[in-house]
Every structure is written in C-alpha cells, then in structure tokens.
C-alpha cells in the first residue's frame, strides 16, 4: 500500500511537471481579441458553418503518462474499496 502511494506520488509529480510546461509565446493566444472570435455577429454567410478548433495535441509519451497516472488512481481506488475491514486503522465498531 505504502509503495503504491509513493509510486502514485512520483507519477503525479512527473506527469504534472511535463504537462504544465507551456509552449513559448503561449500567452499570445487571441483571447482578448474579439475581432477573431466572438458572438454570432453575422460574419459568416447564411448557411455557412465555420471550422472547429481541434483540441491541444499531446505527444504519445504525455498521453501514456497521463493514462498511467489515472490508472494508478483507479488502482488506488480499487485497493481502497477492496481492503478488508480491519487493515485500515479505522474505528472497528460495527455500527
């Protein structure tokens, strides 16, 4: 149990540090530029659909890291649910 928690903590730290690295110039996204995005303003011709914005591309390694992280979390959850009564230091009263 303790080793699983340590492994989970290590995986979490590694994955979060890899994921939170922002690309250079990231802040230059057009978030404050209403001329490029905005409300239905009739800029599109009737009957014309605009284009979708694809979700952020993550590398294969990052995806594997995240799936491993969440997989470890699921493992911890199963371990917690399956731990027989009495192993955890809980109040053992049946009520």
**Closest separation in Å from C-beta 35 to another protein:** 9
Phi, psi of 91 (to 5 degrees): -60, 125
What is the rounded CA–CA span in Å between residue 22 and residue 83? 40
**Closest separation in Å from C-beta 84 to another protein:** 9
Site string for another protein, 34-63 (x = CB under 8 A): x-xxxxx-xxx-xxxxxxxxxxx-x----x
Binder to another protein among 3, 20, 59, 61 (CB under 8 A)?
Answer: 20
What is the rounded CA–CA span in Å between residue 33 and residue 7? 43
What is the rounded CA–CA span in Å between residue 66 and residue 13? 11
17 makes contact with another protein (CB under 8 A) = no
């Amino acid at each position: 149990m303790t080793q699983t928690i340590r492994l989970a903590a290590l995986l979490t730290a590694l994955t979060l540090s890899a994921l939170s690295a922002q690309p250079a110039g990231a802040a230059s996204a057009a978030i404050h530029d209403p001329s490029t995005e905005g409300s239905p303003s009739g800029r599109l011709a009737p009957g014309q659909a605009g284009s979708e914005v694809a979700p952020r591309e993550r590398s294969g390694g990052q995806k594997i890291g995240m799936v491993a992280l969440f997989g470890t979390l699921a493992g911890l959850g199963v371990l917690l649910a399956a731990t027989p009564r009495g192993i955890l230091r809980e109040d053992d009263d049946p009520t």
